[in-house]
Amino acid sequence: MITRVDSVRPMTVEQNTLASDQMPRHVAIIMDGNGRWAQQRGKPRVWGHKNGVESVRRAVSFCRQKGIASLTLFAFSSENWRRPEGEVSTLMELFILVLNNEVKKLNRNDVRLKVVGDTSRFSDKLQAKIQKAEELTKNNTALVLNIAANYGGRWDIAQAARKAAQDSIDNNECVDNISEAAIDKHMCLADQPPLDLLIRTGGDFRISNFLIWQAAYAELYFTDVLWPDFDETAFTEAVGAFVERERRFGFTGEQIKNQTVTSPCPIIEQE
Ligand code: FPP
């Protein structure tokens, strides 16, 4: 089910009416529209990325307030290396700046930072900062903030499939027995609740090789709001749309309504 909303549409669900048992546990966001936001203001594209950091802060704060367990942000895709060199290096500098300026605050707020993706292509300096930030925040429990950096959904599936195959070899098992669950347990976000809600800002209707495995049963939400304008109202609107959806996981609406289904997640059921 796909919902598109205009940024001007009035909120359907007021913030304070969202009950905690209706809230998504895991939200992911494709933070699109930074370049256009800057260009609309006669500024270079990287200005939009810099302003996008404020939206990241707001989104983290929203998730903390609402008790959302995991927030996964698409900061840099495995395809984003194709961008002009200046934009890529500004984004790398911005990641370092964010790690320098924000990690202590995240730690004080009980937020665990996790970077998902192939970080081996980043500079030694950035890799060291990532490692330090993850180490500092590893015991925090209020929210996991996953930053997807040099991340691609196909890369994630391939690395998980390799590990599942290796498990199979190590245990002298036949590869025919490799199940969805055997792959799922090696996916980057396997330690966290299943993805409930995938939001894309910026008006496009694509997943862009983001969490393609994890999005199998996620609710998709697309908004025209450009990422630097994505505020608490826009996030509330997205969550409001989510709570109004009926998630069926292959069952009928009647089965769900009559609560004859206890564990609707297909992967958990498999093993
Ligand atoms: C997509 O907008 C945005 C990005 C590729 C980068 C997102 C990065 C940030 C918001 C800042 C850093 C964040 C963290 C968490 C360290 P776009 O450039 O494709 O916009 P456009 O579609 O208007 O061109």
Cα-based distances in Å from 48 to 5, 31, 52, 149, 235:
22, 11, 6, 18, 19
Which H/E stretch holds residue 174?
A: none
Which pTM value belongs to this model? 0.89
Q: Which residues contact 146 (CB under 8 A, 6 or more apart)?
A: 70, 71, 72, 73, 114, 115, 116, 188, 189, 192
Measured in Å, residue 200 CA sits from the centre of ligand 1 at 12
Assess contact for 160 and 130: CB atoms under 8 A: no
Could you tell me the distance, in angstroms and rounded to a whole number, from the CA of residue 187 to the centre of ligand 1? 24
Tens digit of each residue's pLDDT, the chain (271 residues): 343 333 323 333 444 456 666 899 999 999 999 999 999 999 999 999 999 999 999 999 999 999 999 999 999 999 999 999 999 999 999 999 999 999 999 999 999 999 999 999 999 999 999 999 999 999 999 999 999 999 999 999 999 999 999 999 999 999 999 999 999 999 999 999 999 999 999 999 999 999 999 999 999 999 999 999 999 999 999 999 999 998 888 888 888 788 776 556 665 545 4
Answer whether 73's CB lies under 8 Å from 58's CB.
no
**Computed from CA positions of residues 84, 90, 91, 96, in that sequence, does the dihedral angle turn out positive or negative?**
positive
Is 150 annotated as catalytic? no
Q: Break the chain into its structural domains and give their ranges.
A: 2-151+195-257, 158-192
Q: What is the CATH number of domain 2-151+195-257?
A: 3.40.1180.10
Active site residue 80: yes
Pocket test for ligand 1, best of 29, 30, 34 (most atoms within 8 A of CB): 34
